[in-house]
Amino acid sequence: MHCLMKSALLSASLVGAASGAWAQDMRITFGGGAYLDIPQLSVAIDQDLFPQHGLDVNVIPFQSGRDAFEALLGGQLDLAVMAEFPAVVGAMRAQPFKVIAELSQYQATRIIHAGDAGIETVAQLEGRPIGVTAGTNVHFWLENELNAAGIQAEIVSVGPSDIVPALARGDVFAGAMFPSYYAGARTTLGERYQEIPISSYNTHFILVASQAIIDRNPDAVSAVLSALLEAEDAVIADPEASHAAVSRVLGGTLRPEDVAAASASYSFNINLDSALIELMVDQGVWINARGSIRGDVPTHESISAYIDAGFLSALDAGRVTLD
């Protein structure tokens, strides 16, 4: 009897140790922030989907995707969400990470100005000073737009948070800024607010994983992606509930109706396709031409090396359409 009891206790101890090790192994540090951009994350948090997939996820907010990416490369994060542009820079610098999936796209890019309401096209900005944060995805699409219109403008390098004040003061005629500043520009400029819609560029919000977590615990990466896919089903099936979830995760700083209005400018679709790679290659060529990063000109092959479609393909092969 004593031996049986001792054996049972030993077995329980081993099971407990194994469970503890498993729980430890499934801990993930996730860098997020702009939950409007990725309601899948808010719904996963709000509905406790990560624990249901065996995960202990610590979500850390960041002011920008670039900051989150730097933290990931520095070993502070396992996964992070960001726009595609920092990943291009990371690939050109041979950093240890992989793009696991695209989560969403922002589809309401614009140039903002406080001039005549009759100025409605990029071509009408010829010769005018335009504020932009140099070396960013916004700078990339602005140059493309100016080239497509066959015009030249005065590019004024301005920090992200300084573009709206520069517009208000009249230091620049127009501003090409990150979408997170659009609402502030409308409030600050009031009746002077004017915009020129841009259709050539959408911001792609992507999920990246450190090479360390991919090598150490690919199951945890798969579990995170699986939870986000389940959350996306909820986002699509019940948009109103997802808007409320985003509002709750943001601590009520945005009302559900505000989230709903903002969400109209996004598409939410977890996938990986060739269009993302083509965009990243174009951005890499632009970065190389500016001399910002020395080395070979990026190609489809060199950028594709930083796309790991295996995780998403294993969960839903129909979401992966890569050449």
Judge contact between 179 and 266, C-beta under 8 A. no
* Average confidence (pLDDT) over 125-147: 96
Between the alpha carbon of residue 13 and those of residues 9, 18, 139, 305, the distances in Å are: 6, 8, 58, 44
Instruction: Place domain 27-107+203-321 in its CATH homologous superfamily.
Output: Periplasmic binding protein-like II (3.40.190.10)
pLDDT band at 16 (very low <50, low <70, confident <90, very high): very low
pLDDT digits (tens, 9 = 90+) for 236-281: 999 999 999 999 999 988 999 999 999 999 999 999 999 999 999 9
Distance (Å, whole) CA 220 – CA 86: 24
pLDDT digits (tens, 9 = 90+) for 38-70: 999 999 999 999 999 999 999 999 988 899 999
Q: Which two tokens stand for residue 251?
A: 């601590």
What's the CATH number of domain 110-197, 3.30.465.10, 3.40.50.300, 3.40.190.10, 1.10.760.10?
Answer: 3.40.190.10
Domain boundaries, the chain: 27-107+203-321, 110-197
What are the phi and psi torsion angles at 116 (to 5°)? -65, 135
Q: Write the DSSP assignment of 139-204 as a string of letters.
A: HHHHHHHHHHHT---EEEE--GGGHHHHHHHTSSSEEE--GGGHHHHHHHHGGG-EEEE--S--EE
Instruction: Please report, rounded to a whole number, the percentage of residues in the chain having pLDDT higher than 70.
Output: 92
State residue 8's pLDDT score: 32
pLDDT band at 32 (very low <50, low <70, confident <90, very high): confident
pLDDT digits (tens, 9 = 90+) for 155-214: 999 999 999 999 999 999 999 999 989 999 999 999 999 999 999 999 999 999 999 999
State residue 10's pLDDT score: 32
13 versus 220: the higher-pLDDT residue is 220
State residue 25's pLDDT score: 63
Q: Do domains 27-107+203-321 and 110-197 have the same CATH topology?
A: yes
pLDDT band at 311 (very low <50, low <70, confident <90, very high): very high
Q: Write the DSSP assignment of 24-67 as a string of letters.
A: HHTEEEEEE--TTT-HHHHHHHHTTHHHHTT-EEEEEE-S-HHH
Cα 169 to the center of its chain, rounded Å: 31
State residue 292's pLDDT score: 86
Q: Would the pLDDT of 2 be above 60?
A: no
pTM of the entire structure?
A: 0.89
130 versus 10: the higher-pLDDT residue is 130
* Average confidence (pLDDT) over 133-151: 96
State residue 128's pLDDT score: 97
Judge contact between 273 and 74, C-beta under 8 A. no
Judge contact between 246 and 259, C-beta under 8 A. yes
- Mean pLDDT over the full length of the chain: 91
Q: Which two tokens stand for residue 21?
A: 């090790």
Residue 217: how many CB atoms within 10 A of its CB?
A: 16
Judge contact between 307 and 88, C-beta under 8 A. no
Angle at the Cα of 28 from the Cα atoms of 22 and 29, rounded to 5 degrees: 155
State residue 18's pLDDT score: 36
